[in-house]
């Protein structure tokens, strides 16, 4: 795959995608977003890849939507924008994504981080939804996803003031799994990705689907969904291998079948 605004490569069963527009703090313009989706969808469809890592080059994970590009847009332009469809494609990815948040994750960058499944952040990272400072509101799920994670009061504070929080505060809020020194952020993401990559990819996919379901449905519907997925996994060879390996006191070798 040939890209200009991102870098993408694989390391064994892990795929890494790096937003690479450092001069604009990896602001998400349509061209970069398309490249990002092309890479992530290709890895999502590749059976050899078990887990993906998303990070940024330079001082930012991403500073959000490209304000220079948005400045000239009207309401009609926004209504016709392909951006919501792009975010929807991101939401449909089946494999887990570990975010390695190397710096600013603001606005659409924070929304992108929240679309990932596990978040490792550098101590120096700053997270927030500063759209209010430029006369708009989050437009890619920020008011919804942030509120589900941190609750109404904290979401109100962050979105109405536009305040950037430190990585440590983001961790305390439940937005970030762990905070590490900046030079360790990618390695820690790799460590987690490798751990996930060693599991049954079918079970991993089912678990991701069930957990995301919890964010958008009632408990009763979610429990019903989980029960069906649980039963379905009993039809896999990985279930047989996992349980057999436990009984034989050895490490399982999952094939994804
Ligand atoms: N869009 C376009 N360009 C951006 C950008 C963005 N979101 N964020 C930073 N840049 C550019 C700057 O314009 C600057 O480029 P020039 O040198 O060509 O002027 C370059 O990146 C470096 O930025 P700064 O000089 O501002 O760096 P700083 O260290 O002084 O500040 C910052 C860093 C606090 C992150 C600041 O750049 C900033 O506030 N950025 C905007 C953050 C923001 O408001 N994001 C929300 C965007 S709206 C959105 O995302 C909507 C949505 O929900 C999808």
Domain boundaries, the chain: 6-197, 201-247
User: How far is ligand 1, taken at its centre, from the CA of residue 106, in Å?
Assistant: 9
In terms of Cβ atoms closer than 10 Å to its own Cβ (0-12, 13-18, 19+), residue 31 is middle
Distance CA 183, CA 202 (A): 32
Q: Is 111 a catalytic residue?
A: yes
* Token couple for 253: 């070798």
Domains 6-197 and 201-247 share a fold: no
The single residue of 24, 27, 65, 122 carrying the catalytic annotation is 65
The dotted CATH code for 6-197 is: 3.90.226.10
Please give the CATH architecture assigned to the domain spanning 201-247. Orthogonal Bundle (1.10)
The single residue of 111, 125, 139, 141 carrying the catalytic annotation is 111
Pocket test for ligand 1, best of 26, 67, 111, 146 (most atoms within 8 A of CB): 67
Q: Which residue has its alpha carbon closest to ligand 1 atom 32?
A: 63
Residue pLDDT tens, the chain, 257 long: 789 999 999 999 999 999 999 999 999 999 999 999 999 999 999 999 999 999 999 999 999 999 999 999 999 999 999 999 999 999 999 999 999 999 999 999 999 999 999 999 999 999 999 999 999 999 999 999 999 999 999 999 999 999 999 999 999 999 999 999 999 999 999 999 999 999 999 999 999 999 999 988 999 999 999 999 999 999 999 999 999 999 999 999 999 99
What is the value of pTM for the model shown? 0.97
> 44 near 28, Cβ under 8 Å?
no
């Amino acid at each position: 795959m040939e890209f200009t605004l991102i870098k993408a490569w694989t390391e064994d069963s892990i795929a890494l995608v790096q937003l690479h527009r450092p001069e604009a703090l990896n602001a998400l313009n349509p061209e970069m977003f398309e490249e990002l989706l092309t890479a992530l969808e290709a890895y999502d469809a590749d059976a050899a890849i078990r887990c993906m890592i998303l990070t940024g080059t330079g001082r930012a994970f991403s500073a959000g939507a490209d304000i220079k590009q948005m400045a000239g847009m009207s309401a009609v332009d926004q209504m016709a924008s392909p951006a919501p469809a792009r975010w929807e494609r991101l939401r449909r990815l089946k494999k887990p994504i570990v975010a390695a948040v190397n710096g600013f994750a603001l606005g659409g960058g924070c929304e992108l981080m929240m679309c990932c499944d596990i978040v490792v952040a550098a101590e120096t990272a700053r997270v927030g939804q500063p759209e209010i400072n430029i006369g708009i509101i989050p437009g890619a799920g920020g008011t919804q996803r942030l509120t589900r994670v941190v609750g109404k009061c904290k979401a109100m504070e962050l979105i109405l003031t536009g305040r950037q929080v430190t990585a440590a505060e983001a961790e305390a809020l439940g937005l970030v799994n762990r905070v590490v020194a900046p030079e360790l952020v990618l390695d820690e993401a790799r460590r987690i990705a490798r751990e996930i990559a060693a599991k049954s990819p079918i079970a991993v996919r089912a678990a991701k689907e069930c957990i995301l379901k919890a964010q958008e449905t009632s408990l009763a519907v979610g429990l019903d969904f989980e029960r069906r997925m649980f039963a379905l996994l009993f039809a896999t060879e990985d279930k047989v291998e996992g349980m057999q390996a436990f009984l034989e006191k050895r490490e399982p070798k999952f094939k994804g079948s």
